Structure 1
């Protein structure tokens, strides 16, 4: 006799299958800047419509759904104000605004090609869009801005961990390779006023890094260099940082990048490899790993696997250091003859 399904299991599965709708509900809130519209005070629906361009009848159906997701909250008088989760979607530094935009557009489409990635190991993003993420950011300035915002959020999230796990006191020049918008590097320089920095990024991302350096008032101590670390790496640094870079690449390409870094490093310099390394059992880590496959055809790795890559590229890796948040920092020196 067949056992009827547990109602709680059915409800949970239905909730999971609605994930596509939830993503678009949240992304639309960011696209229409609803949290920014409600930044100061609660507003009636008509005012929200006037400021977003969404007709009132549609808002009457949409805003209750956002309230159910805790993005906005409805007041007893029928007005709406932004809720704590919604504040994280404001178009401002350190928010998740950029991530929401990409989750509802380019990333959303890439995940529709998950089957392709599972069967081939190749980038689902490329299969969907006909080019890689880096190429697309070069073609679409709006995407580059959204991606830079996401990188700023990621860097702010790990900055305190990096500063706690490594002492930069003896460094003269810190070179951040694949620096994103240079938030991490600027945070290091702010903590260590005697240190100079160089941020290395490609194309439009280099311009975002330059803007962050200027915003932080560090132009006299920090340069920005446009370059592709897959081809060449600037020499002369005391400390090189690769944060959330190697996980974007399959083993062969990742090893080539590490070898470029090793060849550029002067005697006595150090590499800091910073990644969300996993132990193979955490479900959240498994989802991040799949995201790497979908976006880049690459993978997250365990600390031992990152150390093996470093060894293959000619580095001597030290014991990985883990933060309470799970971030992993692996110091390495160039094992040159």
Structure 2
């Protein structure tokens, strides 16, 4: 019978791997955030049995959860119960602009999506998304059916760019364009920043109806009503025509090649003959992480494309890759034109 040979193996290594593989800690953190424990136990804290009544959960089970959170340093025991530590306060709803909180909540789009990792073996075997196997429909259909998931997803996208927007605006010459269409532009935060930095420029944002309404509010808040338009619609449908640039931010990596081709085809169809297609997202081998590659596989059935894959994808639409700009430590900008 074949035997495994461990080179340089010791018990500490095995223990470290077991701890990395354990599901108790990541799920305990997610349940704690979903129940709002870090916020509820700030300050003086509370006893587990009293908190269990407020939350309508099992007092014995809640005490077990709080015990593990104490081991993790998220909570600490007091004479009257438990309270959130300074470390644990990073999980509160207003910490980190709420980004960590919204990623971990099991009732948010991100938290729900990560649970699809329990079906990772299916994705590895088939190369297909695990999300539909777990939930019966794909990620986007789920968002369409559940408004609270759509709302949390839009907020997640806004928060994800919060700290990167200044660098995205500063590290590329946006002034070369007089008109730009932000395709699937979310709540309009990035486009508002670009237009604010370049007063002569006009922008047009396209996104689904609930998100498009939020974008209108964003532009109004930045006094950009006279330089912006918003179209409520899908990027699989015809796009506003004749712009100098069509911007796709974290769009293509959410889709397999078939759908990515449809999105690029709409951009090329609408663009001015000398117009550009600008793609901002993590690039495989440069700004993408291996963890994100697996997330794209499990949730969407894809991965973070590499430069050559972008070239191949774009060439089918008569687009050539002109430049690759490393905007931030997480994202690149790929500029395409028609030769």
TM normalised by structure 1 equals 0.84
Counterparts in 2 of 1:2 and 1:249: CA distance versus 1, 3 Å: closer
Shift of 1:205: 3.2
Counterparts in 2 of 1:266 and 1:42: CA distance versus 1, 3 Å: farther
What residue number does 1:45 align with?
47
1:248-299 Cα deviation digits (max 9, x unpaired): 122232122112101111133322111110218x9x7222112111111122
Structure 1 moving runs of 4+ over 6 Å = 1-4
1:272 is paired with a residue whose SS is strand
Q: Which of 258, 269, 272 lines up with 1:263 in the alignment?
A: 269
1:87-135 Cα deviation digits (max 9, x unpaired): 3541585522222124785224422222222222222111221211111
Farther off after superposition, 74-83 or 250-259 = 74-83
Aligned counterparts, 1:1-337, within 5 A: 6-18=10-22, 20-38=23-41, 41-45=43-47, 52-53=55-56, 57-73=60-76, 80-84=83-87, 86-90=89-93, 93-101=97-105, 102=108, 106-214=112-220, 216=222, 218-279=224-285, 285-323=289-327, 325-335=329-339
TM normalised by structure 2 equals 0.84
Q: Number of residues paired by the alignment?
A: 331
Structure 2, unpaired ranges of 5+: none
- Does the 8 A contact of 1:278 with 1:300 survive in 2? yes
Q: 2: CA distance between counterparts of 1:234 and 1:82?
A: 51
- Does the 8 A contact of 1:49 with 1:55 survive in 2? yes
- Does the 8 A contact of 1:97 with 1:149 survive in 2? no
2:173 is paired with a residue whose SS is coil
Shift of 1:153: 2.3
1:25-71 Cα deviation digits (max 9, x unpaired): 222222222333356x3433367557655566544432342244444
Q: 2: CA distance between counterparts of 1:147 and 1:120?
A: 27
Q: 1: CA distance between counterparts of 2:177 and 2:196?
A: 14
- Does the 8 A contact of 1:37 with 1:51 survive in 2? no
